[in-house]
Amino acid sequence: MFTGIITDIGEVLSTSREGGDMRARIRTGYDTAGIEHGASIASDGVCLTVVTLGEDWYEVDISGETLSKTNLGQWAPGRRVNLERALRVGDELGGHIVSGHVDGVARVLALAPEGDSLRVTFEAPAALARFIAPKGSVALNGTSLTVNEVEGTRFGVNLIAHTRAVTTWGDVAEGDAVNLEIDTLARYVARLQEFA
């Protein structure tokens, strides 16, 4: 489990494909001596398992299924990625409960400065749009964000200057594909309604 509070910006050092899967090496500011093989690290919002460790990097294997549901297939050397270590008992829950199980990819439609903030409008996949509600939570590229408004499959968020400075959101551009994880509570409420 994660909180959607980004604690490091990593950099993709290399990727390689074999069959339908991909291996990626990610440089990190985390002390890798404190990371165990098999640890989970959310990388651009995707819960990935550490399979190899170096002095300032780790490697993960990414399945074809994950590549089909996320933007990780676009990873190339030099790409910056949002990182978050797994939540530990007793940690502050500053964002919302995030599983790292990305539901799909949203696309950035528009950017509009609003004071020191940046208003970003996204297009969600139609099958996921019903789970997104005004003042609800979403995780976008692993970042816990509050939804401002929803209109059909479009929704907007505000990115404050701090968020843009400590995450990859400072690099956002129109047309970007971003990993979208809907709020866990919204998913279960919708499922329960199917049986009501």
Q: Which CATH number fits domain 8-85: 3.90.245.10, 2.40.30.20, 3.40.1400.10, 2.40.128.30?
A: 2.40.30.20
- Strand 40-43 vs strand 137-140: parallel, antiparallel, or unpaired? unpaired
Each residue's pLDDT tens digit in the chain (196 positions)? 888 899 999 999 999 998 899 999 999 999 999 999 999 999 999 999 999 999 999 999 999 999 999 999 999 999 999 999 997 766 666 777 788 899 999 999 999 999 999 999 999 999 999 999 999 999 999 999 999 999 999 999 999 999 999 999 999 999 999 999 998 777 777 767 777 6
**3.40.50.300, 3.30.420.40, 1.10.3720.10, 2.40.30.20: CATH of 104-194:** 2.40.30.20
85-to-8, 32, 33, 114, 142 alpha-carbon distances in Å:
9, 11, 14, 31, 11
